[in-house]
């Protein structure tokens, strides 16, 4: 190596190190911005209502967690807030809706990708068009339908519609267009495998990155859903946890420390689910990136 090239190499490595440092600083900065709201919420859950309203608190109250226990006691004594019941309702609805969404959407995307039939493009265009229709537009008709079927104040109106998720179908189909080799499906058919076996054992594992990503969005959307449950669920025993937390703010005297504690309790399961599924997303992307 010529001596004249050594300064250039040092200069280039120094530039790369500087650019890497800038990237790390920017990433850390935005990570802190994303964490602060959650940290603020968790810290406020340990304080009483007076301090929460008068101070910006980013540290817990060091009183042996007396305020935290008082906030929890307040929630436990509220007739409209039943944590165990609300958590159970939210978990059942969110888990069931997520499973239905990702499986049937993946099945629909598979059919639109693999099969060739008349009207295929029209059907896909209709699916994309339905994505543009907001929930508030058809909630009146949907409520009337559920009332006719005697499903008001049950979990079914919040679970069954998850079978039809146009945005999830669109996302997974776009993923399959770039990742699925039709030759694999044809080889499976030649070997005598049925269509559902081919889908479940061959195609579905290929979809893991897309399915895991949409599972997170579906679970978050179902867990945090407020609009539909507030209309369809009026019995306390059937209300979801976020709905119960939202009702805490409607009291004449709002205990903000208890409200933040309720919010914290409703957020923790979402964080756990996201952390769990994120690992599968990374594994799926890494596996899908290996080409023979």
Give the model's confidence band at 281: pLDDT under 50 very low, under 70 low, under 90 confident, else very high: low
Q: Range of 21's domain?
A: 2-75
Kindly state whether residues 86 and 228 are assigned to the same domain: yes
pLDDT tens, position by position, 82-100? 888 999 999 999 999 999 9
44: in domain = yes
Kindly state whether residues 96 and 14 are assigned to the same domain: no
Kindly state whether residues 152 and 190 are assigned to the same domain: yes
Helix or strand or coil: residue 282? helix
What pLDDT does residue 10 have?
Answer: 59
Alpha helices in the chain, H assignment, sequence order:
5-44, 49-54, 66-76, 83-114, 120-131, 135-148, 156-159, 166-179, 182-190, 195-198, 204-206, 208-223, 227-232, 241-248, 256-288
Kindly state whether residues 156 and 233 are assigned to the same domain: yes
pLDDT at residue 170 is higher than 50: yes
Q: Which of 5-14, 45-54, 185-194, 225-234 has the lowest mean pLDDT?
A: 5-14
Kindly state whether residues 183 and 218 are assigned to the same domain: yes
Q: Supply the pTM of this predicted model.
A: 0.81
Kindly state whether residues 21 and 52 are assigned to the same domain: yes
Give the model's confidence band at 290: pLDDT under 50 very low, under 70 low, under 90 confident, else very high: very low
Kindly state whether residues 67 and 83 are assigned to the same domain: no
268: in domain = no
pLDDT tens, position by position, 217-252? 898 889 988 888 989 998 888 899 988 888 887 767
Kindly state whether residues 45 and 121 are assigned to the same domain: no
> Is pLDDT larger for residue 136 or for residue 166?
166
266: in domain = no
Kindly state whether residues 37 and 87 are assigned to the same domain: no
């Amino acid at each position: 190596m010529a001596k004249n090239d050594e300064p250039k190499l040092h200069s280039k490595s120094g530039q790369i190190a500087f650019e890497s440092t800038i990237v790390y600083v920017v990433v850390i900065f935005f990570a802190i911005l994303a964490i602060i709201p959650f940290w603020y919420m968790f810290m406020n859950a340990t304080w009483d209502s007076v301090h929460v309203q008068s101070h910006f608190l980013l540290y817990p109250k060091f009183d042996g967690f007396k305020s935290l226990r008082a906030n929890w006691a307040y929630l436990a004594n509220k007739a409209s807030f039943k944590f165990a019941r609300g958590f159970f309702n939210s978990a059942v609805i969110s888990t069931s809706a997520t499973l239905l969404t990702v499986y049937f959407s993946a099945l629909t995307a598979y059919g639109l990708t693999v099969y060739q039939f008349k009207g295929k493009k029209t059907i896909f265009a209709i699916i994309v068009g339905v994505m543009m229709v907001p929930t508030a537009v058809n909630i009146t008709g949907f409520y009337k339908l559920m009332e006719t079927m005697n499903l008001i104040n049950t979990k079914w109106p919040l679970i069954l519609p998850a079978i039809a998720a146009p945005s999830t179908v669109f996302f997974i189909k776009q993923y399959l267009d770039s990742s699925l080799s039709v030759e694999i499906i044809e080889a499976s058919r030649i070997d005598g495998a049925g269509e559902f076996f081919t889908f479940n054992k061959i195609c579905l594992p290929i979809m893991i990155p897309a399915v895991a990503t949409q599972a997170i969005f579906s679970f978050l959307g179902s867990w945090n859903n407020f609009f539909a449950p507030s209309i369809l669920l009026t019995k306390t025993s059937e209300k979801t946890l976020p709905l119960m937390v939202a009702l805490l703010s409607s009291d004449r005297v709002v205990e903000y420390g208890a409200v933040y504690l309720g919010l914290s309790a409703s957020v923790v399961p979402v964080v756990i689910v996201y952390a769990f599924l994120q690992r599968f997303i990374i594994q799926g992307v890494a596996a899908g990136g290996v080409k023979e």
